[in-house]
A and B are shown apart, each in its own frame.
Chain A
Amino acid sequence: MKATRIDTCFEKLRARGEKGFIAYITAGDPDLDATLERVKLLEAMGVDFIELGVPFSEPLADGEANQRAAERALAAGTTFEGILNLVRKIREQSEIPLVFFSYLNPLFVRGFDKSMQMAAEAGIDGVLLVDLSLEESGPYTQAIEANGLNHVVLITPTTPDARMEGLLKSASGFVYCVSRAGVTGEQSELQKEASSVLERAGRYTDLPLALGFGVSTPEQARSYSKISDAVVVGSYIVNTFHQSGNTPEGREAAADKISNLVQAVK
């Protein structure tokens, strides 16, 4: 398979001996224009990868922050075509790797393969499917790869070794290692489980290992970056942008706070 922007970006980081920063935001929160501005700010502060959440009305694996973000995005009338337009606009000025973070149904509805084709054409590089289990993954992985996209998989501290091996066989781009069991959300304590899940994943793959879950301070971001190839920050970014308001000044203020976490990783 041809190298994606994700592969290229990790190669560059590795060559420079740097760790990556992966920022999650929900597409369309609070509307698609604001999302475009947020992406620009994130890239400008040194974020290496963007995970774009595709809003779904039943986000059962998400915590409060991302649930509300999805509600705002849907209330603003966000559609899949609208999100693809956002991706095209980002691609007019940026080569930042973009990963769709989505539940299956909003992609399944028009035919999963068609959704993947449309995403790839717009400029998406990889897909992480929240509710796709290893058992059901066959046809979906195939459609992702057939369209030249990376299949980013998520593993957790409770994923048994045999399962991890299976999941990592179907993975490309990078692996999202969840540092603790639970739904997404800020957690105050860094868990020991984090290093164990990385160590176990490393036995089955040479892919870059990203670590995330509950990162909300520069200290946490720094300590995660020391043991992984990249740090994922989601709820904190979603919350910080939301609380700072949907104005240019608000976004700038949020960006100042978020950049502290990015700097801690660099």
Chain B
Amino acid sequence: MTEQPENFTQQPDAGGHFGPYGGSFVPEILSHPLNELTEAYNAAKQDQGFQDELNALLKDFVGRPTPLYFAKRMTEVLGGAKIYMKREDLCHTGAHKINNSLGQVLLARRMGKTRIIAETGAGQHGVATATVAAMFGLECVVYMGEVDMARQALNVYRMRRLGTKVVGVTSGQKTLKDAISEAMRDWVSNIQDTHYIIGSALGAHPYPMMVRDFQSVIGREARWQILEKEGRLPDHLVACVGGGSNAIGLFYPFLDDASVQMTGVEAGGLGHGLGEHAARFNGGQLGILQGTKTYVLQDDEGQISLTHSVSAGLDYAAVGPEHAWLKDLGRAHYTDVGDQEAVDALGNLSKWEGILPALESSHAVAYAIRLAKQMSRDEIIIINCSGRGDKDVQELAAWEERQQEKTDA
């Protein structure tokens, strides 16, 4: 195990390294703009005016603080730990993504950028970015893999209604990874007037740090909310991990609370063969992808593997570098949940609590179901319900149809 740092929250270093992970691996054309972005972000972070504007919009536009909800029936059914849900699904636009989009759009304005671009997988980050761009009257282009456009059609429609141009990406696997590459190509060509809002704690420095900071509002709220409700810290945090922004947002403010355990849940997809899942910690190896050094699903030639998950938002070949580091240190644990178990969890939570979670978040719910049963009644779990599932109903209906066909055959 790597040597434990004195303080988990004093990361990354000035170059964006989380231990051996992270950093900045980009074409020369992007190096200087990224340095400028880092400087602008560090200045904004110290600027009370910026923080006040962000906090006011988080309150009045996003609807924060989001509730920390005690899932009473779910707790009773499972008969184990008390389960609380951090209701990021109640954020404006339906997921935690807007916490980051809002922070970054304010930064873009501060830097004098007039054009916003973004990538999106499930479409939640695209919708959040389209929303904040509309609010500030900025031009916005979102890159989205064509496979994801088909399975998240509702969100494509929403983005277009918000005035955003959605560009379908036809290269590679036509999912999130390919959308990121295409967004980076756009950025390289339009660096003067364009800011690229990356949607997860991924990519080159300063993105993993900056996205984490903007998402940490989740964990900061959850921390005072649980202290208020229970008078003590939780025992276990559970969140799904695609790039890992909702997970790091919940985990980060608890990292120095040694008693709090945390588990990130990756997409186990259909099985553990390469190409069947997106569980980077269960089959990935150290690599360099899209600006950062981290665990990457790849073959022996260093070519990036195909991935699969029922949830578009978790369907990505690399994991955020801070998660890689937390895994090495043993500070957070990572596991995976397959497609079927996630879909079942979505159904259960809907029936138990009247909450229809996103397929991404359903991976966290599924693991929490396993975990709660093994814990005692006086222990506490917080699940990050990172998004709502309205966007997934079409995909779910198609899934059920396919399952029915299999049963019939």
Determine whether A167 belongs to the interface, using a CB cutoff of 8 Å to chain B: yes
- List chain B residues, Cβ under 8 A from A105: 287-289, 296, 298, 302, 304
Interface residues of A (CB under 8 A from B): 56-61, 63, 67, 71, 74, 79-80, 103-110, 130-136, 153-156, 158-160, 163, 167, 178, 181-183
Question: With A and B bound together, what is the CA distance between A58 and B307 in angstroms?
Answer: 14
Which of B41-49, B181-189, B222-230 faces chain A?
Answer: B181-189
Tell me the dominant secondary structure on chain A's binding face: loop
Query: Known contacts being A57-B304, A108-B287, is A134 close to B31, with CB within 8 Å?
Result: yes
Query: Known contacts being A60-B290, A61-B188, A80-B301, is A131 close to B171, with CB within 8 Å?
Result: no
* Chain B interface extent, by class: 35 or more
A133-B25, A159-B31 given; name 7 further pairs at CB < 8 Å. A57-B303, A58-B304, A109-B301, A131-B26, A131-B291, A136-B15, A183-B189
Question: With A and B bound together, what is the CA distance between A105 and B288 in angstroms?
Answer: 5
Question: With A and B bound together, what is the CA distance between A160 and B15 in angstroms?
Answer: 18
- List chain B residues, Cβ under 8 A from A71: 171
Q: Can you name the residue of chain A whose Cβ is closest to the Cβ of B177?
A: A58
Question: With A and B bound together, what is the CA distance between A183 and B27 in angstroms?
Answer: 10
The answer on a CB contact under 8 Å between A182 and B188 is yes
The answer on a CB contact under 8 Å between B289 and A135 is no
The answer on a CB contact under 8 Å between B28 and A156 is yes
The answer on a CB contact under 8 Å between B172 and A183 is no
CB distance from A78 to the nearest CB of B (A): 9
Determine whether B71 belongs to the interface, using a CB cutoff of 8 Å to chain A: no
The answer on a CB contact under 8 Å between B184 and A60 is yes
Q: Can you name the residue of chain B whose Cβ is closest to the Cβ of A63?
A: B185
Question: With A and B bound together, what is the CA distance between A109 and B188 in angstroms?
Answer: 26
Question: With A and B bound together, what is the CA distance between A56 and B23 in angstroms?
Answer: 20
- List chain B residues, Cβ under 8 A from A109: 285, 287, 298, 300-302
Question: With A and B bound together, what is the CA distance between A135 and B67 in angstroms?
Answer: 42
The answer on a CB contact under 8 Å between A60 and B185 is yes
Query: Known contacts being A133-B25, A167-B28, is A107 close to B302, with CB within 8 Å?
Result: yes
Question: With A and B bound together, what is the CA distance between A167 and B29 in angstroms?
Answer: 13
- List chain A residues, Cβ under 8 A from B167: none
Q: Can you name the residue of chain B whose Cβ is closest to the Cβ of A55?
A: B303
Which of A74, A106, A110, A130 interacts with B27 by CB under 8 Å? Answer: A130
CB distance from B66 to the nearest CB of A (A): 34
Q: Can you name the residue of chain B whose Cβ is closest to the Cβ of A167?
A: B28
Query: Which of B29, B290, B301 has the most chain A CB within a 10 Å cutoff?
Result: B301
Question: With A and B bound together, what is the CA distance between A107 and B92 in angstroms?
Answer: 44
Determine whether B152 belongs to the interface, using a CB cutoff of 8 Å to chain A: no
The answer on a CB contact under 8 Å between B29 and A136 is no
Determine whether B101 belongs to the interface, using a CB cutoff of 8 Å to chain A: no
- List chain A residues, Cβ under 8 A from B303: 56-57, 74, 106
CB distance from A61 to the nearest CB of B (A): 4
Question: With A and B bound together, what is the CA distance between A163 and B288 in angstroms?
Answer: 23
The answer on a CB contact under 8 Å between A154 and B28 is yes
The answer on a CB contact under 8 Å between B27 and A61 is yes
The answer on a CB contact under 8 Å between B26 and A181 is no
Within 8 A of A (CB), among B1-42: 15, 23-29, 31-33
Question: With A and B bound together, what is the CA distance between A97 and B300 in angstroms?
Answer: 28
Question: With A and B bound together, what is the CA distance between A167 and B31 in angstroms?
Answer: 12
Determine whether B138 belongs to the interface, using a CB cutoff of 8 Å to chain A: no
- List chain B residues, Cβ under 8 A from A153: 28
Determine whether B153 belongs to the interface, using a CB cutoff of 8 Å to chain A: no
The answer on a CB contact under 8 Å between B25 and A132 is yes
Question: With A and B bound together, what is the CA distance between A134 and B31 in angstroms?
Answer: 8
Determine whether B393 belongs to the interface, using a CB cutoff of 8 Å to chain A: no
Determine whether B255 belongs to the interface, using a CB cutoff of 8 Å to chain A: no
Within 8 A of A (CB), among B233-255: none
Question: With A and B bound together, what is the CA distance between A266 and B172 in angstroms?
Answer: 39
Query: Known contacts being A67-B171, A105-B288, A105-B289, is A133 close to B26, with CB within 8 Å?
Result: yes
Question: With A and B bound together, what is the CA distance between A250 and B285 in angstroms?
Answer: 42
Q: List 7 A-B contacts (CB under 8 A).
A: A63-B185, A109-B302, A131-B25, A133-B28, A158-B191, A181-B191, A183-B185
